[in-house]
Amino acid sequence: MREKLKLKCTIQDLVRPSPVSYIVPNLFLGDKHIAGDQAELQRLNVTHIVNCAKGLPDSFSPPATPRTTPTSLRPRSRSPSPSPRASSTTSDSSCSSSCSSSSSSSDEEMREVDEADFREDVEEEEEVGDNEEEASSSADMAAPQGSWGPAYHRCELLDSSRAEGEFEQALAATFAFIDAALAAERGKGGAVLIHCCAGRSRGPAVMTAYLIHRYRWSLDKAYTFVCQARPVVCPNRGFLSALLKLEKRLLGANSMTLRHNGHHHTLAPLRGAGKKQQLSALC
């Protein structure tokens, strides 16, 4: 029997939510503050970042590659020099961007994953993990070497109920990036951070979609799991509708329905005969 959703949320959580939340092994969900906190990202061993917020710049960049001028394009000396003179004319400028907001420290205690509810799915997923090594060979998905700098993927989403189409179109590339990142970091401890501005709508919606894709969880299970980890989660109507479509496409039926509670739209579990009829398609 599915356990009832219990949100352990304090007033402080709502006013100033934690900048980062642990979801499942090697996957974190957060806001723009954690995305700009290099010390905390390194402590969490984050090697890949999914930026879901359109217009929000990435806080870090891979190490700049020195530029070299081809020999054929170098200017020739008009008069011979009396003696060979070693000259160096290379110049390079490195760009760096910093997050405008200083991050607050993350929760001291990470939420423990329910072993009975999650371990089976993870173990089954690890059995086929070797097949994903091929995807990790893509240069644009590999974490930068040398100086610290995470690999980035941008979703470019607006937090708008009219962004449902953009959300659906962004999922395939986002899933591929995260799959490749987890495959590349298998056994190395590297992690992926999914974030938006506040960690309330865009990031949680993408995280929920990924759990459905990766573990074939129902939307009910995936959304409940994310909400328990981060009580401030509140995706807009467009994203919720897109999640329902994703569940129906991947699993063949819906476990939740979209409702309006007078203030905003939310997801509610299907109950009674309606739920039994929908879930029968999953068996």
| CATH number of residue 156's parent domain | 3.90.190.10
The domain containing residue 225 runs over which residues? Answer: 17-59+149-270
Residue 237 domain flag:
yes
Q: Could you say which DSSP state residue 137 is in?
A: G
Q: Are 48 and 193 in contact (CB under 8 A)?
A: yes
Distance separating alpha carbons of residues 283 and 41, to the nearest angstrom: 41
Q: Are 99 and 35 in contact (CB under 8 A)?
A: yes
Please state the domain count of the chain.
1
Quote the tokens at residue 205.
Answer: 């919606």
pLDDT at 260: 86
Residue 135 domain flag:
no
Residue 124 domain flag:
no
Give, in order, the Cα–Cα distances in Å from 202 to each of 39, 99, 140, 151, 217: 24, 19, 23, 19, 19
Quickly tell me which residue has 């420290």 as its tokens: 105
Distance separating alpha carbons of residues 217 and 139, to the nearest angstrom: 30
Burial class (CB in 10 A: 0-12, 13-18, 19+), 158: middle
Residue 127 domain flag:
no
Distance separating alpha carbons of residues 128 and 131, to the nearest angstrom: 6
Residue 266 domain flag:
yes
Average pLDDT of adjacent 10-residue blocks, the chain of 283 residues: 42 63 97 96 96 95 48 44 40 38 42 52 51 41 62 95 96 98 92 97 98 98 97 96 98 95 86 51 40
pLDDT at 142: 46
Residue 89 domain flag:
no
Quote the tokens at residue 228.
Answer: 């328990």
End-to-end distance of the chain based on CA atoms, in angstroms?
16
Q: Could you say which DSSP state residue 45 is in?
A: T
Residue 118 domain flag:
no
Residue 245 domain flag:
yes
